């Protein structure tokens, strides 16, 4: 199979990519830092099966170019794993002026998929979105998607992870195979960007966290297996279907999110 993955140079993205390479698949790395990708590939025996495409999810023009390059890179894309994400201790904005959690965790992937939509449908590509149990803490306000009022890191991240699940279900609505997943709480560099109080809780929880290889297991499972059609659009944890929040299952909410997201990226959408 040929599998594309965002955020493939660190954390669970890298572990996902390495394991899938070991299984004999061809992997397309969609990465922000090309130099880092070159360094990472020096330590991967199967690097000959890797194609690298520049894709900065916080820069919509970069995402638009990456979508074009992805479609040109392979005649058959079996799986797209929207894995990249991040959390930021202060309110920051992307190059396009969007709150950074919204931009990196949702809008970049939304644009990438939309600009490849006909291609993905033609290839019957499976789209996997890495979400989080944090989605249950979301406080969604369509009047303030950019969180200019009452910003908090937890709310920004939780909202973005809710968007990942809503997006997954919308993709099923339009005819794709798509899954969302919680990888587990991972002992990685993720906690480095938290504020001091949250960082303390993160440190105290480290003994109970998964390592990156364990955290990648559900992404690998979903990428590697053909599941029953009844599981299309489902939310997975530890390779099993689990329930998501009531808001994540709300069709009116996901339709509104799609509409709002289209408006935010409209200047970069290919028609």
Backbone CA torsion sign across 129, 133, 134, 140: positive
Angstrom CA distances, 127 to 51, 81, 110, 198, 203, stand at 19, 6, 11, 32, 33
Catalytic residues: 157
Residue 89: predicted pLDDT: 83
For the segment 71-100, the average pLDDT, to the nearest whole number, is 95
Q: Note every long-range contact of 135-141, with CB atoms under 8 Å and residues 24 or more positions apart, other chains counting.
A: 135/161, 135/162, 135/164, 135/165, 135/244, 135/245, 135/248, 136/244, 136/245, 138/162, 138/245, 138/247, 140/247, 140/253
Contact in structure between 48 and 255 (CB atoms under 8 Å)? no
In DSSP terms, which residues pair with 101 in a beta bridge?
Answer: none
Cα(66)–Cα(30) distance, rounded to whole angstroms? 8
pLDDT tens digits, residue range 8-36?
Answer: 998 889 999 999 999 999 999 999 999 99
Domain ranges, ordered by start, for the chain: 2-268
User: How do residues 161-203 score in pLDDT, each as one tens digit?
Assistant: 999 999 999 999 999 999 999 986 554 455 555 556 555 544 5
Tell me the two tokens of residue 63.
């995402």
Which one has a higher pLDDT value, 28 or 86? 28
Which residues 6+ apart lie within 8 Å of 204 measured at CB? none
216: confidence class by pLDDT, cuts 50, 70, 90 = confident
Q: Cα dist. 213→51, 138, 239 in Å? A: 22, 27, 14
The domain 2-268: what is its CATH number? 3.40.50.720
């Amino acid at each position: 199979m040929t599998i594309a993955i965002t955020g493939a140079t660190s954390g669970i993205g890298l572990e996902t990519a390495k394991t899938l390479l070991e299984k004999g698949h061809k992997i397309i790395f969609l990465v922000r830092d090309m130099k880092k990708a070159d360094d990472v590939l020096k330590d991967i025996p199967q690097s000959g099966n890797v194609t690298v495409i520049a894709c900065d999810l916080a820069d919509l023009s970069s995402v638009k170019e990456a979508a074009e390059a992805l479609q040109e890179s392979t005649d058959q894309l079996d799986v797209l794993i929207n894995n990249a994400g991040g959390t930021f201790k202060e309110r920051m904005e992307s190059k396009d002026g969007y709150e950074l959690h919204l931009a990196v965790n949702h809008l970049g992937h939304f644009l990438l998929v939309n600009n490849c939509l006909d291609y993905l449908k033609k290839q019957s590509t499976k789209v996997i979105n890495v979400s989080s149990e944090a989605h249950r803490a979301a406080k969604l306000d369509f009047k303030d998607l950019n969180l200019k009022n009452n910003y908090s890191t937890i709310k920004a991240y939780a909202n973005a992870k809710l968007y990942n699940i809503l997006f997954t279900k919308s993709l099923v609505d339009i005819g794709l195979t798509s899954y969302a997943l919680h990888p587990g709480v991972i002992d990685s560099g993720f906690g480095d960007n938290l504020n001091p109080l949250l960082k303390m809780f993160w440190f105290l929880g480290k003994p109970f966290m998964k390592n990156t290889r364990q955290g990648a297991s559900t992404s690998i499972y979903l990428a590697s297996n053909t599941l029953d059609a009844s599981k299309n659009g489902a939310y997975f944890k530890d390779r099993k279907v689990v329930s998501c929040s009531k808001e994540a299952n709300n069709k009116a909410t996901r339709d509104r999110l799609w509409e709002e997201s289209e408006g935010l990226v409209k200047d970069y959408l290919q028609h």
